[in-house]
Amino acid sequence: MGWKFWKKKRPIPHDPILKTYTIWLSELRETCEHHYNSPSSGRNEVNRFLEEWHRAHQEGTLSKVNLDGLNMRANILLTCTDEEWLTWLDNIDFWKPGWKDRQDTDD
């Protein structure tokens, strides 16, 4: 019976700057707005973000809830028409943390 100073702790990711959910969301928005006139290029970038988010989730730096929120937005942006692309980019609520697609709720 003694102190267990040698107990192995969870490894800390090597990235000195860990991205938070709001940073991921902000970067997604900025990238999509940068490609406002080229939805196909924007969708390519969204796919790149998906890979990064899943990697961050596997490393433990992005929670399942936050990953689901980002994935929901990505799915909408990847499946919308080119005309809807601008509508989603202009939707202020869509870019707020905690946003939930009303079509997914069972009200």
pLDDT tens per residue, range 25-79: 999 999 999 999 999 999 999 999 999 999 999 999 999 999 999 999 999 999 9
pLDDT attached to residue 107: 45
pLDDT attached to residue 67: 95
Return the sign of the alpha-carbon dihedral for residues 21, 94, 76, 102: positive
pLDDT attached to residue 88: 96
- pLDDT above 90 (res 5): no
pLDDT attached to residue 12: 53
pLDDT band with cut points at 50, 70 and 90 for residue 87: very high
Q: What dihedral angle (degrees, nearest 10) is formed by the CA atoms of 98, 105, 80, 36?
A: -20
pLDDT attached to residue 16: 54
- Which pairs count as long-range contacts for 81-88, CB under 8 Å and 24+ apart, including other chains? 82/39, 85/36, 85/39, 85/42, 86/36
Rounded mean pLDDT of 7-19? 59
Rounded mean pLDDT of 84-88? 96
- pLDDT above 90 (res 6): no
pLDDT attached to residue 96: 94
